[in-house]
Amino acid sequence: MAELNGQCMCGAVTVRASACEPVLRACHCDMCRRWTSGMFLSVSADPESIEADGPVRSYRSSDWAERAFCDICGSALWYMTTHDNVRNLAAGLFENAAGGSMTFEFYSDRKPRGYALAGDHRRLTEAECLAMFAPEETAGDNA
């Protein structure tokens, strides 16, 4: 079990969590690209173990998700699906991206042509992501 200790850019928000095996996921959807100016890199953690302190603000970005950020410095903290409160923690909060390895690339067909992630991880298109994650009635909307 890895213990993860992270913080936002200014240090006002601290995040602790544990993970059996931290894995990294990248999302290239339009909203993640606007939010982060690139891709949103997240790290998996045991949902029960996550603790955050400090000035956390949330933005409801779709019918099924919200995005949290530091109210002082604006650092992205997590993407959370609201039906189950599962938080995908921003990998950048943690030293060495929590030591995780890249496993999934979401919305791979939305990635700009000018850059790419190396490696053999799984790549899912927008249609595959929506089939996997979106509630039936909102499929087709954005993430």
What's the angle, vertex CA 63, arms to CA 30 and CA 123, rounded to 5?
40
Helix (H) or strand (E) holding 129: helix 126-133
Total of residues contacting Zn ion (CB under 5 A): 6
Nearer to Zn ion, 26 or 90 (CB): 90
- DSSP for 9-49 reads SSSS-EEEEEESS-EEEEE--HHHHHHHSS-EEEE---GGG
**Shortest Å distance, C-beta 116 to Zn ion:** 30
Nearer to Zn ion, 73 or 131 (CB): 73
**Inter-residue contact 14 to 46 (CB < 8 Å):** no
Q: Which of residues 3-32 bind Zn ion (CB under 5 A)?
A: 8, 10, 12
Nearer to Zn ion, 13 or 97 (CB): 13
Q: Which of residues 60-89 bind Zn ion (CB under 5 A)?
A: 70, 72-73
Task: Point out which residues bind Zn ion (CB under 5 A).
Answer: 8, 10, 12, 70, 72-73
